[in-house]
Amino acid sequence: MLFLCALVLVLFIPTGVNIARNSLAKFDHKTPVKVGFGLRANQEFPFYPAAAIMYRRRTPRLQSERAYRKWLEENPEKAEMVRQYQSFLNGKNVGEIIPMRQLLQGCADNPLKPELAFDVPPKALWPNIVPTLKWFDANARPFVGNVRLYHGYRNPEANKACGSHSPVHPANSAIDFVPLEMHDPAKIERLMCSAFRAKGKTAKIGMGFYGVGLIHIDTRGYRSWGPDTRSATSPCKA
């Protein structure tokens, strides 16, 4: 019996992995798929590799501290830029809001391009994240508590690899996070939308809810959207 079980594992697991990998490689942002978890009934949204992984895992991947340290060791020039970036954020009193490793995570969701997991933004873009972090710390964190950031700055290549056409992550003005201390989606949406309506317009806050517990905040224009990226499905419109 043990021999038969081992034989089944050897024969079928590699095949299943290859099928999944090949299927994932064929996905593009134009292929719609119906999903049920976290979305309203029968909604469709553009399907791409990052979305596939977010749906299957409920939340995107988070790169480990070890992977981050390895990236720094292999890219000494980037490491120096990271040091300067941290110093800049400290000087703006936002350096302790989100760990640097998470701020620099770009497209860890795409297993086909792991080299795009981290990058440091150009110096000209450093100021863009400051108002986003300040608004988050003052208006979102008091409601949701501690969070885990999954996406911060993305260079244009990483943005494309993640299936996004929006310029807000490459502009270093956006964060995507999941609350760690609150697990009631309806309550999270209610509290976040309350803050959005009360204090979002003057700060030009963009807020999105992706249906997997992932919340987006940027400071590139007052708007909101739901899991299918349409404003009509935003819980803040209800």
Average pLDDT over residues 136-162: 91
In this prediction, residues 51-61 reach a mean pLDDT of 42
Q: From its phi and psi, is residue 193 left (phi > 0), alpha (psi between -120 and 50) or beta?
A: alpha
pLDDT at residue 32 in the model: 33
The pLDDT tens digits for 67-95 are 899 999 999 999 999 999 999 999 999 99
Q: Which residue has the higher pLDDT, 155 or 3?
A: 155
Pairing verdict, β 147-151 and 223-225: unpaired
- Say if residue 149's pLDDT is above 80: yes
pLDDT band at residue 161 using 50, 70 and 90 as cut-offs: confident
Q: What is the pLDDT of residue 78?
A: 95
> Residues near 163 by Cβ (< 8 Å), separated by ≥ 6?
29, 46, 48, 49, 50, 51
Q: What is the mean pLDDT of residues 160-164?
A: 81
Q: What angle do CA 216, 218, 223 make, to 5 degrees?
A: 85
What are the beta bridge partners of residue 206?
218, 223
| Window from 44-48, 131-135, 164-168, 193-197 with minimum mean pLDDT | 44-48
Cα angle: 163, vertex 193, 130; to 5 degrees: 65
Q: What is the mean pLDDT of residues 171-198?
A: 93
Q: Evaluate if residue 36 carries a pLDDT over 60.
A: no
pTM: 0.73
- The pLDDT-based confidence of 61 (bands split at 50, 70, 90) is low
**What pLDDT, on the 0 to 100 scale, is given for residue 53?**
33
Tokens describing residue 33: 């798929």
Asked if 236 contacts 197 with a C-beta cutoff of 8 angstroms, the reply is yes
For 205: left if phi > 0, alpha if psi spans -120 to 50, otherwise beta; the answer is beta
pLDDT for position 203: 96
35-44, 149-158, 225-234: segment of lowest average pLDDT: 35-44
Gap between the Cα atoms of 158 and 202, Å rounded:
30
Mean pLDDT for 142-152 is 91
Query: Over 90: is that where the pLDDT of 46 sits?
Result: no
**What pLDDT does 182 receive?**
85
Residue with tokens 């997997």: 212
| pLDDT, tens digit, 9 for 90 and up, residues 96-133 | 999 999 999 887 665 556 678 899 999 999 999 999 99
